[in-house]
Amino acid sequence: MTDTALTAQDIADFLQNNPEFFDQHAEVFATLQVPHPHGTRAISLGERQILTLRERNRELEWRLNELINNADSNEAIGDHVSQWCARLLGESEPQHLPGEIALGLAEQFDLNHVGLRLWNLAGLTPTGYGAPVSQDVRDFTDSLKTPYCGPDTEFEAVNWLDAKPQSLALIPLRFESDQPSIGLLVLGSDDPVRFNPEMGTVFLEAIGRLASATLRRLNTPAPQNPA
């Protein structure tokens, strides 16, 4: 005896392949009862469709609000980057640029801790931002192709900060992407989620490129005072 029992998939396939079914049997559509998605009572198919559309609208509204919030946040960050760049462009003394890079970022982005060390720059003085760093730090910076973000604060460069942060961003500085590093920018926050591994690094990479481009002015030997 042949088993002719219909499966749920058979019924679904039939309705998809015969869209005129409910036109020909309108009374079925009007009287069909289906389970309520959030309760135990039965509702009509039309009511179920309305509930589904409302849920989809709420989801779309949530996504739209998320996009708007992200756009507002990105606009604010872009404005802070622009003001920071204006500060760098307004500095006429190359020796003051490292300080403007670090202090400007701290002010524009309300950062608790900022550290910066530079090397391989012809016009750099061997003190302050140009103080010697270990070869390990240089090798580590050379290995960074994109900024690091996260809660790991055991890096040697953290010692450049005035206190240990809860989260950290490490931005390598180099003139070109395929060239050795010229420095490392350390951004620290007392907020443990300010810099997290899941965050995007587009703006941090832009900050690294802009800082590196500015430091080209420091890549010429400092003028010698006449004897």
Tens digit of pLDDT for each residue in 168-223?
999 999 999 899 999 999 999 999 999 999 988 999 999 999 999 999 999 876 55
> Is the predicted pLDDT of residue 12 greater than 90, yes or no?
no
For residue 156 the two structure tokens come to 């040697």
DSSP 160: G
DSSP 130: G
Report the C-alpha gap between 157 and 122 in whole angstroms. 22
- What was the pLDDT predicted at 8? 79
**Nearest one of 150, 212, 152 to 183, comparing CA atoms:** 212
Mean pLDDT (whole number) for 28-35: 66
**What rounded mean pLDDT belongs to the chain?**
85
Report the C-alpha gap between 31 and 18 in whole angstroms. 19
| pLDDT confidence band for 224 (50 / 70 / 90) | low
Please indicate, yes or no, whether the overall pTM of this predicted structure exceeds 0.85. Answer: no
Q: Which residues neighbour 163 within 8 Å (Cβ) at sequence distance 6 or greater?
A: 112, 113
Half-sphere exposure of 186 (CA within 13 A, CB side): 27
